């Protein structure tokens, strides 16, 4: 890194630091308030293809572009291979694409059989093939090492010289408070789905670090991206793109009447299978609080009848074997089962459902809603399918 670029960074870290830290922590505060004030609103906000997931994607994508451009500038300035910065840029790109399962729910393609069988979410991504505890440790290590320890290492001259010789550029010290807040809440985990919020915060952390790094390597004629004005425009753009992407991804596209009829027929067969098991055992084959993909449910609870019941028999009527084997709906998404109980009213509702043409969950914890298609096994309205109840 040139001395000129290093001096320029030291001139204006505080305005950048204030904007970055406030933006990152504000996201946490927003969702903390949402989960405290409206559990249903919070639940809807953290679902797949929601605004939060898209904000995470766009944050990592902008970060990726910033780091890759920084790598180009580092190469020109130092005539060295920018392996570290380029690696961080590629990492951000991969994480962003993994977040949206490489566009699977947008384009509606079915996962290969390996991912249907081994991916917790039956989606085309690698991170859900890995054990959940290992994924959590990887997130913790990323926050700790990149966001906290690497900047702090720059306070010690010997370590600073080593990192510079290796071509490693740490994020700025002013981002350490935001990364520390991320790590603290990720370890504390005071409410459900907090990991989704921390992932979005992490995306913003990498984005701010990438924009800062671009400025550290800019030439005299290059634009500044870590100014308050530039950061404000960037945050507004990410907000707009997140809302627009969520609206598009949640819309029903290419709805075919044959698919709707198939989903209704298939959920009827799944309901029949659950009722058959209840007749044979005296109990619905689930327990209060269960909400899972039916394939995972059948594996976890060892419900063999689901693999050879009424739904599986639809293969004789043309249902593709792969859809039957992995309980996949006509839109190549998983069929789900939800079992919900209330201690106050003794009410119990069990239903099986597909997320429908928009491939997004519209149902809440008690009712089938939106364009989701399903059948109530226990409780619920008498009608089979629901349309904006």
Task: Judge whether residue 1 has pLDDT over 60.
Answer: no
- Residue 104 pLDDT level (bands cut at 50, 70, 90): confident
Question: Average pLDDT over the chain, rounded to whole?
Answer: 86
SS3 233: helix
Q: Which residues of 173-199 are buried (b: 16+ CB within 10 A; e: fewer)?
A: ebbbbbbebbbebbeeeeeebbbbbbb
**Which tens digits make up the pLDDT trace of 3-62?**
344 434 334 468 899 999 999 999 999 999 998 888 777 877 887 788 999 999 999 999
Higher pLDDT, 353 or 253: 353
Task: Judge whether residue 102 has pLDDT over 50.
Answer: yes
Q: What is the pLDDT of residue 40?
A: 76
Distances (CA, A) of 161 to 19, 145, 156, 164, 167: 29, 18, 9, 5, 10
- What are the backbone dihedrals phi and psi of residue 139, each rounded to the nearest 5 degrees, phi first? -65, -45
- CB 74, CB 217: distance < 8 Å: yes
**Which tens digits make up the pLDDT trace of 311-330?**
999 999 999 999 999 999 99
Q: What is the DSSP letter of 105?
A: H
Higher pLDDT, 221 or 332: 332
Task: Judge whether residue 190 has pLDDT over 80.
Answer: yes
Segment 277-288 shows an average pLDDT of: 79
Q: Which strand ranges, in their side-by-side order, compose the sheet holding 348-354? A: 291-293, 336-341, 348-354, 373-378
- pTM value is 0.80
Task: Judge whether residue 387 has pLDDT over 50.
Answer: no
Segment 252-257 shows an average pLDDT of: 73
What fold does the segment set 257-378 form as a domain? Glycoprotein, Type 4 Pilin (3.30.700)
Domain boundaries, the chain: 3-249, 257-378
**Which tens digits make up the pLDDT trace of 72-84?**
988 887 767 899 9
- Please report the DSSP string for 24-55 in residue order: HHHHHHHHHHHHHH-HHHHHHHTSTTSHHHHH
Q: What is the pLDDT of residue 130?
A: 82
Task: Judge whether residue 92 has pLDDT over 70.
Answer: yes
Which tokens belong to 111? 């996962």
Q: What is the pLDDT of residue 13?
A: 64
Task: Judge whether residue 384 has pLDDT over 90.
Answer: no
Determine how β-strand 348-354 pairs with β-strand 373-378.
antiparallel
Burial degree of 155 (CB within 10 A; 0-12, 13-18, 19+): exposed
């Amino acid at each position: 890194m040139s001395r000129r670029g290093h001096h320029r960074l030291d001139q204006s870290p505080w305005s950048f630091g204030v904007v970055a830290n406030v933006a990152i922590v504000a996201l946490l505060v927003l969702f903390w308030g949402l989960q405290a004030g409206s559990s249903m609103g919070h639940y809807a906000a953290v679902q797949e293809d929601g605004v939060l997931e898209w904000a995470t994607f766009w944050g990592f994508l902008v970060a990726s572009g910033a780091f890759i451009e920084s790598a180009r500038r580092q190469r020109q300035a130092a005539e060295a291979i920018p392996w570290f910065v380029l690696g961080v840029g590629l990492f951000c790109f991969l994480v962003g694409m993994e977040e949206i399962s490489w566009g699977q729910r947008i384009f509606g393609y079915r996962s290969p059989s390996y991912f249907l069988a081994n991916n917790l979410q039956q989606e085309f991504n690698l991170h859900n093939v890995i054990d959940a505890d290992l994924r959590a440790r990887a997130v913790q290590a990323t926050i700790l090492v990149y966001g906290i320890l690497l900047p702090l290492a720059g306070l010690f001259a010997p370590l600073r010289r080593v990192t510079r010789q290796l071509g490693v550029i740490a994020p700025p010290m002013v981002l350490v408070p935001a990364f520390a807040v991320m790590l603290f809440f990720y370890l504390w985990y005071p409410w459900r789905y907090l990991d989704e919020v921390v992932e979005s915060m992490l995306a913003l952390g990498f984005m701010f670090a990438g924009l800062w790094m671009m400025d550290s390597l800019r030439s005299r004629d290059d634009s500044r991206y870590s100014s308050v004005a530039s950061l404000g425009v960037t945050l507004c753009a990410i907000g707009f793109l997140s809302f627009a992407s969520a609206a598009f991804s949640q819309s029903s596209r290419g709805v075919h009447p044959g698919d709707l009829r198939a989903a209704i027929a298939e959920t009827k067969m799944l309901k029949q299978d659950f009722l058959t098991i209840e007749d044979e055992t005296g109990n619905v084959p689930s327990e209060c609080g269960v909400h899972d993909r039916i394939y995972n449910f059948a594996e976890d609870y060892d419900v063999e009848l689901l693999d050879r019941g009424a739904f599986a028999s639809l293969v004789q009527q043309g249902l593709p074997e792969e859809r039957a084997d992995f309980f996949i709906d006509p839109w190549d998404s998983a069929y789900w089962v939800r079992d919900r109980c209330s201690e106050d009213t003794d009410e119990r509702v069990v239903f099986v459902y597909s997320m429908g043409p928009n491939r997004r969950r519209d149902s809440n914890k008690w009712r089938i809603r939106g364009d989701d298609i399903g059948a109530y096994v226990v409780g619920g309205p008498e009608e089979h399918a629901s349309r904006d109840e």
